[in-house]
């Protein structure tokens, strides 16, 4: 079963606004990753946060991780129409010698001009 659960399922905002997506998971993890998927395309890795990290930034992206609550959030600041996509969190238990990620159901973000 899918470990990550994102909310909201869908988010519609105006350009320039910030978008916040949340992810909850159930078991202990080695790291948590966020991916973006444009419609009908593969996924693109956005950012990885390790279990011993609490916050990470990359450009307009800010990710937080709260292992006590088993949750993470992805903030996209000053959103653009080009940010329109589905965003997935994925948890990596890191116990296989290679990465086997479990993906959440995703948040569909629509940024209107």
Partner 1 sequence: GAVVSQHPSRVICKSGTSVKIECRSLDFQATTMFWYRQFPKKSLMLMATSNEGSKATYEQGVEKDKFLINHASLTLSTLTVTSAHPEDSSFYICSAYLQAKEKLFFGSGTQLSVL
Give me the residues that bind partner 1 (CB under 8 A), please: 2, 31, 33, 35, 40-45, 48, 88, 98-106, 108
Q: Considering the complex, what minimum distance in angstroms separates the CB of residue 89 from partner 1?
A: 10
Cβ-in-10-Å burial (0-12, 13-18, 19+) of 112 comes to exposed
Q: Measured between alpha carbons, how far is 71 from 91 in angstroms, rounded to an integer? A: 11
Q: Considering the complex, what minimum distance in angstroms separates the CB of residue 20 from partner 1?
A: 19
Between residues 77 and 84, which has the closer beta carbon with respect to partner 1? 84
Between residues 42 and 113, which has the closer beta carbon with respect to partner 1? 42
For the beta carbon of residue 86, count every other beta carbon within 10 angstroms.
Answer: 19
């Amino acid at each position: 079963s899918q470990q990550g659960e994102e909310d909201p399922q869908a988010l519609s905002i105006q350009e320039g606004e910030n978008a916040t997506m949340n992810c909850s998971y159930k078991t202990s993890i080695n790291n948590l990753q966020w991916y973006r998927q444009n419609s009908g395309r593969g996924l693109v890795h956005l950012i990885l946060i390790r279990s011993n990290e609490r916050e990470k930034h990359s450009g307009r992206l800010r990710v937080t991780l709260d292992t006590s609550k088993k949750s993470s959030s992805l903030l996209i600041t000053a959103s653009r129409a080009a940010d329109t996509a589905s965003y997935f969190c994925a948890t990596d238990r890191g116990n296989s010698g290679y990465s086997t990620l479990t993906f959440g159901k995703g948040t569909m973000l629509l940024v209107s001009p």
